[in-house]
Structure 1
Amino acid sequence: MHSDRMLTLRFTVFALLFCGTCGFSGYWFNVFNHCNPPQKMVGKFCAIVLDNNYDADNNVTNRDIHYDSLFYDYDGDLCNMYKWEFVTKWTCRLGFSEEFARFMFNRFDRNEDGAVTEGDFSAPLSFPSANFLMMNFNLFKNLYCGDPKNRVNPVDRVQCAEVHELNPEDIKCP
């Protein structure tokens, strides 16, 4: 009986270690970090607006974006958002590819110092939510998916094909 328990324990440890490289750890990361991204592209764009309109006044401002950036903090450093934190948030919360997340990080890291900080948001921002939604849709559809090298990743291929079929009037959030 004792050897059966020991064998079971060894098998469990092996499975955890082995499956950590085959998606098992990703599954648990998603469960513990509340990863439940929208499946459809419209949902992803709506989640971006929802996350960046903290006060729900239908206007996305620097203040809203700064509040949202608090949810990018995985290392306890609220003043610096590093690429890995940004990529984690955009792949986990929004369901975009790692390549697109890196693309977006580079758009936010304006001074190219490897971290998104207060200095990267020097200009005041204020967008009506509908305009912010369209800006993100057009950025993904035209700027990102418009470059063939950004459609190599299987996730990007599927998402770019889906977004290619959408028209701006199809993008509506509840």
Structure 2
Amino acid sequence: MEYKNPISLMISLQLTVFTLLFCGTCGFSGYWFNMFNHCNPPEQMLGKFCATLLDNDVNGDGRVDGKDIGYDLLFYNYDGDLCTSQSWEFITRFTCRYGYSQEYARFVNAMLGGGGVDFSRFNISSDAFLTMQYTRFKNAYCGDPKNRENPVDRIQCAEVDRLKAEDVKCA
């Protein structure tokens, strides 16, 4: 088979590859985003809580403080503007890194004032931070029945319902 215009064929092929890689046709966008942004969220809720603790106790001193959180927030930057964190950046990082639903990511983002919280005075023990993650998800989020409608949330809320506060420990 001979093509009369090989340049238009080449352009068509390039546009198809672009569409597949960047626009998400056929479900490839999540794969490529995850591969390039190191998305490998823990499957279990305890793993999600522990990953959050690990990311927020950067220096490993057993305390989560403003410096630790400030460093972690650098990984929430996708648009190159380190001075402001957009809601979509928070939601992207929260769903990518931890595997939470977009609804829960929006919930936490709204609770934190859309990124406008001053963490400079934040300073709690790692154990208290871990308990805060568990309590926020179990009581504040899953405690509202409307937050159990999403299939991801339904599974994660059921899993956290089976956990007890004393079970929430990171090895």
TM norm. shorter chain > 0.5: yes
Alpha-carbon displacement from aligned partner over 1:35-74 (angstroms, at most 9, x marks no partner): 0000000000001100000111010011111111011011
> For this pair of structures, how many residues does the alignment match?
165
The residue matched to 2:98 in structure 1 has which SS?
Answer: coil
Query: Distance in 1 between the 2:33 and 2:60 partners?
Result: 29
* Aligned with residue 146 of structure 1, among 133, 143, 148: 143
DSSP 3-state at the match of 2:124: strand
Please give the alpha-carbon distance, in whole angstroms, between the structure 2 residues aligned to 1:16 and 1:121: 40
Find the partner of 2:153 among 145, 152, 156.
156
Quote the offset at 1:23 in angstroms. Answer: 2.0
Matches of 2:27 and 2:162, distance apart in 1:
30
- Compute the displacement of 1:100 (Å): 0.3
Give 1:25 deviation, angstroms: 0.9
Alignment-derived partner of residue 116 in structure 1: 115
CA distance in 1, matches of 2:38, 2:146: 31
Amino acid at match of 2:73: S
Cα distance in 1, alignment partners of residues 2 and 135 from structure 2: 62
Q: Which residue in 1 is equivalent to 2:168? A: 171
| Partner residue, 1:24 | 28
In the alignment, which residue of structure 2 is the partner of 1:85?
A: 89
Match of 1:13 among 16, 24, 33: 16
Aligned match of 1:134: 131
Tell me the residue number matched to 1:103: 107
Partner residue in 1 for 2:46: 42
Distance apart, 1:16 and its partner CA: 2.2
Q: Which moved more, 1:19-28 or 1:44-53?
A: 19-28
TM-score by length of structure 2 reads 0.87
**Residue deviations 1:66-90 (CA, integer Å, cap 9, x gap):** 1110110111111111100000000
Distance 1:28 1:13 in 2: 15
2-side partners of 1:50 and 1:167: how far apart? 20
Q: Secondary structure at the match of 2:99?
A: coil
Pick closer, same or farther for the CA change 1:26–1:59 going to 2, 3 Å.
Answer: same
Offset of 1:102 from its aligned partner?
0.4
CA shift for structure 1 position 20: 1.9
2:78 equivalent in structure 1:
74
1:112 equivalent in structure 2: none
- Provide the rounded CA distance (Å) in 1 between the counterparts of 2:42 and 2:2: 46
- The counterpart of 2:63, out of the listed 59, 63, 68, is 59
The alpha carbon displacement at 1:122 in A equals: 6.1
Question: Compared with structure 1, are the counterparts of its residues 2 and 163 closer, same or farther at alpha carbon in structure 2 (3 Å cutoff)?
Answer: farther
3-state DSSP class of the match of 1:116? Answer: coil
- 3-state SS of paired residue (1:23): helix
